[in-house]
Chain A
Amino acid sequence: MALTLKLNGETHTVDAEPGTPLLWVIRDELKLTGTKFGCGVASCGACTVHLNGEPVRSCQTYIEDVEDAEITTIEAVGQDKIGAAVQQAWVELDVVQCGYCQSGQVMSAVGLLSENPKPSVEEIDSYMHGNACRCATYQRIRAGIQRASEILEA
Chain B
Amino acid sequence: MTINTSRRGFLKGAAAAGAVLLVGARPDGALAAASSEATQFNPFVKIDADGTVTAIVKHFEKGQGPATGLPTLIAEEIGLRMDQIEYGFAPSDPNVYNNLFFGPFQGTGGSTAMANSWLQYRQAGAAAREMLINAAAQSWGVDASGIAIEEGIVKAGDKSAPIAEFVAAAAQLDAPAEPRLKDPSEFRLIGNDSVRRKDSAIKGNGQAIYGMDLHLPNQMVAMIKRPESRGGIANGFDDSASKEVKGFISAAVLPNKAGVAVFAENTWAAIQARDALEVDWDMSDAETRNSDEIKAEIMAALDAEPTYNVNKADVAAVSAAIDEADKVIEKTFYFPLLAHAPMEPLNCTIEQTADGTIVLHDGAQMPTGPHMAYQQIFELPPEKIQIKTMLAGGSFGRRATPDADYQVEAALAFAVTDRSRPVKLVWTREDDIRSGYYRPAFGHKVRVGLDADGNIVGWQHQIAGQSVIKGTPFEAVLVHDGVDHSSVEGVADSPYAIPGMAVGLTDTPKATTVLWWRSVGHTHTAYTMETMMDVVAKAAGRDPVEFRLAHLSDPDNPDQARKAAVLRLAAEKAGWGNVPEGRSLGVAVHKSFGSYAAEVVEISGDPDSGIKIEKVTCAIDCGIAVNPDIVRAQMEGGIGYGIGHVMRDQITLTSGAVDQFNFPDYEPLRIGDIAAIDVHIVPSAEAPTGVGEPGTPPSAPALANAIKAMSGMHVAVLPMDENGITFV
Which residues of A are interface residues toward B (Cβ below 8 A)? 17, 20-21, 24, 27-29, 31-41, 43-44, 46, 73-75, 78, 86-87, 90-91, 94-103, 106, 121, 124-126, 128-129, 131-142
Contacts and interface: CB of A to CB of B under 8 A. Distances in A.
Contact of A90 (B200, B210, B430, B669): B200
Interface in B201-231: 201-210, 212-213, 215
Interface residues of B, number: 60
B267 A98 contact: no
22 contacts: A21-B268, A27-B267, A34-B205, A38-B344, A39-B662, A40-B430, A44-B343, A44-B668, A74-B205, A75-B206, A87-B205, A90-B200, A97-B64, A101-B343, A103-B206, A129-B670, A129-B672, A131-B671, A132-B669, A136-B637, A137-B637, A138-B670
Contact of A100 (B344, B672, B675): B344
Contacts of A132: 343, 663, 668-670
A102 B203 contact: yes
Nearest to B396: A134
A48 to B, nearest CB: 11
B237 to A, nearest CB: 23
A27 B347 CA distance: 15
Contacts of B639: 136
A101 B202 CA distance: 12
Interface of B: 62-64, 196-197, 199-210, 212-213, 215, 246, 266-268, 271, 341-345, 391-394, 396, 428-430, 629-630, 633, 636-637, 639-641, 644, 662-664, 668-677
A133 to B, nearest CB: 7
Contact of A39 (B205, B394, B429, B670): B429
A91 B204 contact: yes
A98 B344 contact: yes
Contact of A98 (B206, B271, B343, B636): B343
Contacts of A20: 268
A46 B671 contact: no
A98 B204 contact: no
A20 B247 CA distance: 12
A65 to B, nearest CB: 16
B398 to A, nearest CB: 10
Given A20-B268, A38-B429, A137-B636, A100 B393 contact: yes
Contacts of A38: 343-345, 429
Contacts of B644: 136
A128 B212 contact: no
A64 to B, nearest CB: 14
Contacts of A140: 633, 636
Given A40-B429, A95-B200, A100-B394, A135 B671 contact: no
Given A28-B267, A33-B209, A96 B668 contact: no
Contacts of A129: 670-672
A94 B200 contact: yes
Given A36-B344, A91-B201, 17 more contacts: A28-B267, A33-B213, A33-B215, A34-B205, A37-B267, A40-B429, A40-B430, A73-B206, A74-B206, A94-B629, A131-B671, A134-B342, A134-B394, A134-B396, A135-B343, A137-B636, A140-B633
Contact of A99 (B208, B637, B663): B208
Contact of B671 (A33, A43, A138): A138
Contact of B203 (A17, A78, A96, A136): A96
A98 B393 contact: yes
A40 B213 contact: no
Closest 9 interchain pairs by CB?
A34-B206, A136-B640, A100-B393, A99-B203, A97-B63, A98-B63, A74-B206, A33-B213, A125-B672
B200 A138 contact: no
A94 B670 contact: no
A9 to B, nearest CB: 15
B217 to A, nearest CB: 11
A91 B200 contact: yes
Contacts of B630: 94
A61 to B, nearest CB: 13
B343 A100 contact: yes
Given A28-B268, A98-B392, A98-B394, A41 B641 contact: no
Residue of A17, A34, A121, A128 contacting most chain B CB atoms (<10 Å)? A34
A137 B644 CA distance: 13
B671 A142 contact: yes
Nearest to A46: B343
Given A27-B267, A87-B204, A137-B633, A36 B212 contact: yes
A78 B196 CA distance: 20
Contacts of A95: 200, 204
Nearest to A138: B671
Contacts of A100: 210, 342-344, 393-394
A41 to B, nearest CB: 5
Contacts of B271: 40
A97 B633 contact: yes
Nearest to A128: B671
Contacts of A141: 671
B246 A99 contact: no
A56 B620 CA distance: 39
Nearest to A126: B672
A133 B633 CA distance: 13
Nearest to A105: B204
B670 A24 contact: no
Contacts of B668: 44, 132-134
A34 B343 contact: no
Contacts of A136: 636-637, 639-641, 644, 669, 674
B205 A75 contact: yes
A73 B205 CA distance: 10
A47 to B, nearest CB: 12
A129 B671 CA distance: 6
B199 A135 contact: no
Contacts of B206: 32-35, 73-75, 103
B345 A37 contact: yes
Contacts of B673: 138
Nearest to A86: B204
A103 B212 CA distance: 14
A30 B246 CA distance: 18
Contact of A24 (B200, B207, B267, B674): B267
A44 B161 CA distance: 51
Interface centre among B64, B207, B266, B393 (most CB of A within 10 A): B393
B669 A138 contact: yes
B671 A41 contact: no
A28 B221 CA distance: 10
A124 B671 contact: yes
Contacts of B394: 97-98, 100, 134-135
Contacts of B208: 34, 99
Nearest to A41: B662
Given A94-B197, A98-B63, A125-B671, A41 B633 contact: no
Nearest to B633: A97
A28 B468 CA distance: 37
A126 B672 CA distance: 7
B633 A94 contact: yes
A28 B219 CA distance: 11
Nearest to B677: A139
Nearest to B669: A136
A105 B644 CA distance: 19
B625 to A, nearest CB: 14
A87 B200 CA distance: 9
B204 A90 contact: yes
B662 A98 contact: no
Nearest to A25: B268
A121 B394 CA distance: 27
Contacts of B207: 34, 75
Given A94-B629, A124-B671, A138-B669, A102 B268 contact: no
Contacts of B670: 129, 132, 138
B178 to A, nearest CB: 35
A78 B201 CA distance: 11
